[in-house]
Amino acid sequence: MAFIPSLPSSSFLAILFIFSPYYLAYCASSSGNDPHGAFLMCLYQNSTTTDSISQVTYDQTNSTYSSVLDLSIQNLRFQTPNAPKPLVIVTPVAVDQAQAVVRCSRESGLQFRVRSGGHDYEGLSYLSRVPFVILDLLNLRKITVNVENATAWVESGATVGELYYRIGEKSNSLGFPAGVCPTVGVGGLFSGGGYGMIMRKYGLSADNIIDARIIDADGKLHDRESMGEDLFWAIRGGGGNTFGVVVSWRISLVPVPKTVTFSTVLRTLDQNATALVHRWQYIAANQFPDDLSMRITLLSLDGTDGNRTMQAYFHTLYLGRTDDLLAVISSSFPELGLTREDCTEMSWVNSTLYCAGLSGQPLEALMNRSLNAKNYFKNKSDYVKEPISEVALEEIWKWFSRAEQGALMMILNPYGGRMGEISESVIPFPHRAGNLYEIQYITAWTDGSAEVSAMRVSLMRQFYQFMGDYVSKSPRSAYVNYRDLDIGKNGDSGKTSYQEASEWGRKYFHGNFDRLVKVKTAVDPTNFFRNEQSIPPVPLPLP
99 binds ligand FDA (CB under 6 A): no
Q: How far is the CB of 510 from ligand FDA (least distance, A)?
A: 18
Q: Estimate the share of the chain in helix, then strand, then coil, as percent rounded to the nearest 5.
A: 35, 20, 45
Q: Determine contact, residues 441/381, Cβ cutoff 8 Å.
A: yes
196 binds ligand FDA (CB under 6 A): yes
Catalytic residue among 318, 437, 482, 508: 482
Binding ligand FDA (rule: CB under 6 A), the pick from 47, 97, 191, 281 is 191
Helix (H, G, I), strand (E, B) or coil at 133: strand
246 binds ligand FDA (CB under 6 A): yes
**Among 219, 24, 187, 21, CA closest to 108:** 219
477 binds ligand FDA (CB under 6 A): no
Cβ proximity to ligand FDA: between 155 and 342 the closer is: 155
* One-letter identity of residue 516: L
Cβ proximity to ligand FDA: between 117 and 320 the closer is: 117
Burial grade of 451 (CB within 10 A; 0-12, 13-18, 19 or more): exposed
482 included as an active-site residue: yes
- What residues pair up with 381 in beta bridges, in sequence order? 440
Binding ligand FDA (rule: CB under 6 A), the pick from 39, 78, 195, 383 is 195
C-alpha separations of 114 from 56, 123, 138, 188, 411 in Å: 15, 11, 10, 9, 28
Q: How far is the CB of 372 from ligand FDA (least distance, A)?
A: 6
119 binds ligand FDA (CB under 6 A): yes
Q: How far is the CB of 115 from ligand FDA (least distance, A)?
A: 4
Task: For strands 151-155 and 174-175, give the pairing.
Answer: unpaired
Question: CB under 6 A: which stretch of 109-117, 334-342, 455-463, 467-475 binds ligand FDA?
Answer: 109-117
Q: Determine contact, residues 475/182, Cβ cutoff 8 Å.
A: no
430 binds ligand FDA (CB under 6 A): no
DSSP string for residues in 406-466? TS-EEEEEE--GGGGTS-TTSSS----TT--EEEEEEEEES---HHHHHHHHHHHHHHHHH
Cβ proximity to ligand FDA: between 50 and 128 the closer is: 128
187 binds ligand FDA (CB under 6 A): yes
95 binds ligand FDA (CB under 6 A): no
291 binds ligand FDA (CB under 6 A): no
- Distance (Å, rounded) from C-alpha 482 to C-alpha 236? 16
Cβ proximity to ligand FDA: between 189 and 517 the closer is: 189
Binding ligand FDA (rule: CB under 6 A), the pick from 43, 114, 336, 412 is 114
Burial grade of 165 (CB within 10 A; 0-12, 13-18, 19 or more): buried
- Distance (Å, rounded) from C-alpha 413 to C-alpha 179? 12
Binding ligand FDA (rule: CB under 6 A), the pick from 531, 532, 536, 538 is 531
- Distance (Å, rounded) from C-alpha 535 to C-alpha 527? 9
Binding ligand FDA (rule: CB under 6 A), the pick from 91, 99, 241, 263 is 241
Cβ proximity to ligand FDA: between 244 and 475 the closer is: 244
- Distance (Å, rounded) from C-alpha 110 to C-alpha 34? 10
- Distance (Å, rounded) from C-alpha 352 to C-alpha 366? 9
Phi, psi (5° rounding) for residue 493? -45, 130
Cβ proximity to ligand FDA: between 118 and 536 the closer is: 118
Give the Cβ contact number of residue 163 at 10 Å. Answer: 27
Burial grade of 130 (CB within 10 A; 0-12, 13-18, 19 or more): exposed
427 binds ligand FDA (CB under 6 A): no
Give the Cβ contact number of residue 526 at 10 Å. Answer: 10
311 binds ligand FDA (CB under 6 A): no
Cβ proximity to ligand FDA: between 198 and 396 the closer is: 198
Those residues whose C-beta lies under 8 Å from the C-beta of residue 125, and which sit 6 or more positions away, are 113, 114, 115, 116, 118, 134, 188, 240, 241
219 binds ligand FDA (CB under 6 A): no
382 binds ligand FDA (CB under 6 A): no
Question: CB under 6 A: which stretch of 177-185, 307-315, 338-346, 502-510 binds ligand FDA?
Answer: 177-185
Binding ligand FDA (rule: CB under 6 A), the pick from 118, 219, 237, 417 is 118
Cβ proximity to ligand FDA: between 156 and 297 the closer is: 156
- Distance (Å, rounded) from C-alpha 248 to C-alpha 382? 30
Cβ proximity to ligand FDA: between 179 and 416 the closer is: 179
- Considering only residues 62 through 81, tell me which ones interact with ligand FDA, judged by CB under 6 A: 74
**Among 395, 399, 445, 439, CA closest to 415:** 439
237 binds ligand FDA (CB under 6 A): no
155 binds ligand FDA (CB under 6 A): no
Question: CB under 6 A: which stretch of 14-22, 189-197, 284-292, 357-365 binds ligand FDA?
Answer: 189-197
180 binds ligand FDA (CB under 6 A): yes
Give the residue numbers annotated as catalytic, written as ranges: 482
> Which spans of this chain sit near ligand FDA (rule: CB under 6 A)?
74, 113-121, 124-125, 137, 156, 179-181, 184-185, 187-189, 191-192, 194-196, 240-241, 245-246, 372, 481, 531
